Amino acid sequence: MIRALLAPWMPALTLLLAIALQELALPWPGWHIFRPDLVLIALFYWRLYRPDRCGPGLAFASGLAVDSLTALPLGISAVTQIFVVLVVGRFGPRLRAADFLLLILVIGLLCVLEQLCQVAMLSLFQYPGIRWLHLGGRALATALVAAPLVIILIWVHRRWLESA
- In SS3 terms, 78-93 reads as HHHHHHHHHHHHHCHH
Q: Are 47 and 92 in contact (CB under 8 A)?
A: yes
Reported as a single tens digit per residue, the pLDDT across 67-118 is: 898 877 888 999 999 999 999 999 999 998 988 889 999 999 999 999 889 8
Contact yes or no for 30/3 (Cβ under 8 A): no
pLDDT in tens, 123-147: 887 766 667 777 788 899 999 999 9
pLDDT of residue 126: 72
Per-residue confidence (pLDDT) for residue 94, from 0 to 100: 92
Tens of pLDDT, residues 12-41: 999 999 999 988 877 766 677 788 999 999
Phi, psi of 43 (to 5 degrees): -60, -40
What stretch of H or E contains 118? helix 100-124
* DSSP label of 52: T
Tally of CB atoms within 10 A around 82: 19
Q: What is the pTM of this model?
A: 0.90
**Closest to 80 measured CA to CA, from 111, 52, 35, 36:** 111
**Measured distance CA(95)–CA(89) in Å, rounded:** 9
% of the chain with per-residue pLDDT over 70: 92
pLDDT for the residue 46: 94
